[in-house]
């Protein structure tokens, strides 16, 4: 007799797995399908949250403030609303398969492909192929942000490691946990700076920082971004000038090095 297709009961799986999961986000396999379970454990950051808040206050940049702490139900409701808004706008995000008050199960944008890389990993791999290969991938990340900003949305967590290529080649976003900033211009500027922060060090390693200046300038000038957005980016670059005192290498760690590289990339655009 022919086999009937198996139907996954995502709601039952969510109820069973959520109490057992000790981390906020983890992958599970359900009848051969790879899914992700997210719950609202307090993963927002401890020392990193305090450090980011201190930087935001010191630089007078409210867009860098971490999102306010909220109860689990409010946190999950906000994330589900953002996933729905992105999906309705045609922006590739995981599909919510089942949800509860404090957790949800979502699809794997990469189609469950083993070892499927993030955009950051793709760029890292491309360094060996030269600056042109790196720049081609880097521009795809900017184009993915274009689609978000054109719909009046912002990612909030627009780091290259939270972007993945779907099986059809479209780049999607896997992490919408951060609530939008106070204004749309601030939120979209934070997207730009987050993407720059996560990729500037890779551009440096590939010898592509100078070559990236022109596409970055073109991207900032796109009609989808208005004067308020550009003014917010300009303000952020100006108020983060203290980053120039960080060492120009990784002696203080990769994050410090990437911060300086990102600032140098932005400063070269605005002032050279």
Q: What pTM was computed for the model?
A: 0.82
Per DSSP, what are the bridge partners of residue 30? 33
- Note the pLDDT tens digit of each residue in 107-117: 999 887 766 78
Cβ–Cβ under 8 Å, residues 120 and 160: yes
d(CA 261, CA 251) in angstroms, rounded, equals: 14
Rounded Cα distance, 109 and 92, in Å: 8
pLDDT band per the 50, 70, 90 thresholds, residue 255: low
For the chain, the helix, strand and coil percentages under 3-state DSSP, each to the nearest 5: 55, 10, 35
Of 53 and 88, more confident: 88
Quote the CA–CA distance of 216 and 223 in Å, as a whole number: 14
How large is the average pLDDT for residues 83-95? Answer: 96
C-alpha torsion 215→221→224→229, nearest 10? 110
């Amino acid at each position: 007799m022919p086999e009937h297709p198996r139907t996954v009961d995502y709601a039952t799986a969510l109820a069973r797995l959520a109490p057992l999961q000790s981390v906020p986000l983890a992958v599970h396999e359900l009848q051969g399908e790879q899914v992700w379970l997210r719950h609202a454990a307090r993963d927002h950051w401890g020392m990193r949250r305090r450090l980011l808040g201190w930087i935001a206050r010191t630089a007078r940049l409210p867009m860098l403030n971490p999102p306010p702490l909220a109860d689990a139900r409010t946190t999950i409701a906000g994330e589900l609303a953002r996933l729905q808004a992105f999906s309705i706008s045609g922006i590739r995000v995981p599909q919510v398969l089942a949800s509860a008050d404090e957790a949800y199960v979502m699809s794997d944008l990469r189609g469950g492909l083993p070892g499927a890389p993030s955009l950051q990993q793709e760029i890292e791999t491309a360094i060996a192929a030269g600056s042109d290969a790196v720049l081609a991938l880097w521009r795809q990340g900017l184009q993915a942000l274009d689609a978000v900003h054109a719909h009046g949305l912002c990612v909030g967590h627009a780091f290259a490691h939270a972007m993945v290529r779907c099986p059809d080649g479209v780049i999607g976003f896997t992490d919408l946990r951060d609530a939008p900033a106070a204004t749309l211009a601030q939120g979209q500027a934070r997207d730009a700076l987050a993407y720059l922060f996560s990729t500037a060090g890779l551009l440096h390693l590939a010898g592509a920082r100078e070559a990236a200046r022109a596409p970055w300038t073109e991207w900032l000038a796109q009609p989808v971004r208005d004067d308020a957005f550009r003014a917010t980016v300009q303000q952020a670059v100006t108020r983060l000038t203290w980053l120039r005192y960080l060492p120009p290498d990784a002696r203080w760690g990769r994050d410090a090095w990437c911060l300086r590289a990102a600032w140098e990339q932005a400063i070269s655009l605005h002032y050279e």
